[in-house]
Structure 1
Amino acid sequence: MPRVELPKVLVVTGPTASGKGAVAFELAQRLDAEIVSVDSVKIYRGMDIGAGKPSAEKRRTVRYHLIDIVEPTEVYNMGRYVADATAALEDIARRDKRAILVGGTAMYLKGLLKGVFEGPPADPALRQKLRDVALEKGASHLHNLLRKVDPAAADKLHPNDLK
């Protein structure tokens, strides 16, 4: 998915538990803005402990996007995040509102701001075949196969990394 021209937004980002949510909430109130989450955990329904999701009261005061939008069993990736966040930002802009991106998932933020590689979708059958090979011959066997076709990628992955 190539980079799309996004409306101007404020970005509040940083490490876990650094106060991003509180800062964004205060800004949203002062600027009459809406918050778009850039968090890989907050998107999941029921994943509430340790996620730092805004309270029900805050969600009644300020409109939040991309929180509690998918089930934990659903596949959700950067490509889907970029599409969902872009739609939210376009919706906010159409209503002449300001948007604040808030969160610490740098991969999501980078994908949204810089675009993501357009490639074929994941192939579940191929993934299963590779899992079967790993079970039969070991993860290091797959790593060695990868090294033969893409040494640079192999250097970035631990030999036991099956994802």
Structure 2
Amino acid sequence: MKSCPKILVLLGPTATGKTELALQVARLLDGEIISADSRQAYRGLEVGTGAPSPAERTRAPHHGVAFLEPGERYGAGRFARLCRQWVADIESRGRTPILAGGTGFFVRAVTRPVFREPELDEGRRSWLTTWLSGLPPDEIRRWVQRLDPALADRLAVVDRQRAGRTLELVFLTGRSLTWWQSHAEPEGDPVPARTWVLQLDPDLHRARIEKRVRSMLDSGWLEEVRALAASGHGPGSPGMTSIGYLDAWRFAAGEISRDEAVSAIVRDTWQYARRQRTWLRHQLEDDATRVDANVDIPELARAIAADWTRTIDGEWNPRENQPMSDSERP
């Protein structure tokens, strides 16, 4: 028998409306929102990562948004440790923890805890970081594919931060990240959750991505990139490896046109979204509820809030869980 859920999880690929949905669910359930997004954690990258705006963050308390410097590393293990504390703090206030985002590995690190990391030599680790910073992205992925092919196959994106964590474990312990995930002791107990997954028709999803990219460029993304550069954060900083930032950087520097920047960012974002869609189809528990993101958000928020209330009241049967169709919505 499954434990009563402690957290309400809203998952979905980029540009599926998770931010507004989470805000409306939080209003209905007196909730606080925890961002399960590996990039929205960085301060100064709010525009290009689609993080909740300052105005949106006044509508509900948020955790895990804009609290790290772009040069800091932020992986699933660190997120899981922080998330457990955020959940405990939220519960102590008698409120509902709502975990919202698109980084599936972050959510899984909470519901299926990651391994306890081994001690690593900081001097050798620093040397590896410097070496990786000089490699082009394609070569980084080749290293990961060769040394940890199982990980490369299941990761939506192999950027410098993820590659660094993978390769340092191989080089400094002699074991791959996949091996550690399978054999090492977990660092905490799993947190039971009830999960909803947002889905969109592929053509509509791609159109939403393009609309959002254009809106970001009109809403201060270039100014954000220039401010990051002025504060000493270049393309090699962990936060700056987020999708779109290099092309926004090149556009701001006059190296490419606006149309070229939009085309490149939409292409890369859609490729990432497709990998997210695949991961979300195959890597979640069978009792995740899949919902159509192309519906009225207040209506969907009310349905999820009602479902959550039934769940914590003990009236939810996972065996009866099915995706909400248009005809079944309240």
Task: Give TM-score, length-normalised by structure 2.
Answer: 0.39
Equivalent residue for 1:114?
112
Residues 46-84 of structure 1 show CA distances to partners (whole Å, capped at 9, x for unaligned) of 012221111222211210111011101112222111111
**Structure 2: how far apart are the matches of 1:71 and 1:130?**
17
Equivalent in 42, 45, 48 of residue 44 of structure 1: 42
Equivalent residue for 1:81?
79
Contact kept in structure 2, 1:6 and 1:90, CA below 8 Å: no
**Structure 2: how far apart are the matches of 1:16 and 1:60?**
22
Alignment length (residue pairs): 145
**Structure 2: how far apart are the matches of 1:94 and 1:16?**
31
| Root-mean-square deviation (Å) | 3.1
Structure 1, unmatched stretches of 5+, are none
Alpha-carbon spacing, 1:96–1:123, altered in 2? closer, same or farther (3 Å):
same
Equivalent residue for 2:100?
102
| Letter in structure 2 aligned against 1:113 | T
SS at match of 1:10: strand
1:9-158 matches, within 5 Å, as 9-127=7-125, 128=127, 153-154=148-149, 157=152
**Structure 2: how far apart are the matches of 1:38 and 1:130?**
25
SS at match of 1:49: helix
Contact kept in structure 1, 2:46 and 2:53, CA below 8 Å: no
Alpha-carbon spacing, 1:118–1:13, altered in 2? closer, same or farther (3 Å):
same
**Structure 2: how far apart are the matches of 1:80 and 1:6?**
25
SS at match of 2:82: helix
1:121 Cα offset (Å): 4.0
Residues 124-163 of structure 1 show CA distances to partners (whole Å, capped at 9, x for unaligned) of 433426976xx9xxx79x96xx97xx7xx356559xx963
More helix by share: 2
**Structure 2: how far apart are the matches of 1:32 and 1:155?**
41
**Structure 2: how far apart are the matches of 1:155 and 1:31?**
40
Contact kept in structure 2, 1:7 and 1:89, CA below 8 Å: no
The structure, 1 or 2, with the larger RCO (C-alpha pairs under 8 Å, 6+ apart) is 1
**Structure 1: how far apart are the matches of 2:57 and 2:129?**
43
**Structure 2: how far apart are the matches of 1:46 and 1:77?**
18
| Letter in structure 2 aligned against 1:50 | G
| Letter in structure 2 aligned against 1:109 | V
SS at match of 1:50: helix
Contact kept in structure 2, 1:7 and 1:93, CA below 8 Å: no
